[in-house]
Structure 1
């Protein structure tokens, strides 16, 4: 058996239509990304929420020089070290 690749740029196929993990949507919205914030949290996200997360990360980096995880309080010097974003 071959082990799956750890780092991928997209998920090739799914057997269902995933929806965004944020409850702020009035109706289900299709998820377009899987986002893993280091080891603290992971969720499926729509494009709008993924873009907001990126914008927030870059604002925090500009203002403080780091992103602080709300769960574990660790500091990250780049968005890429804070979160992995994989296209579905």
Structure 2
């Protein structure tokens, strides 16, 4: 991750350029919301959403630049877990 693109205030990172898993996650949400529920495109975008969220959560949990980002990564894991449990 390029730390030079971080937006900092008083040395504390408050913003970053989105990484690839986050961009994929947002694109999957847009596609999922704009397609018919249950269609192949909808199911594929839901799978991409879960994979991208899992990767993003891992990166934020273990490589996040501050405690807030690491907490968001852990929250992402809870969302993935809840979605997977809901599918059982």
Place the TM-score, normalised by the shorter chain, in its bin. Answer: 0.3 to 0.5
TM-score by length of 2: 0.36
Higher relative CO (CA 8 A, sep ≥ 6), structure 1 or 2? 1
Q: As a proportion of its length, which structure holds more helix?
A: 2
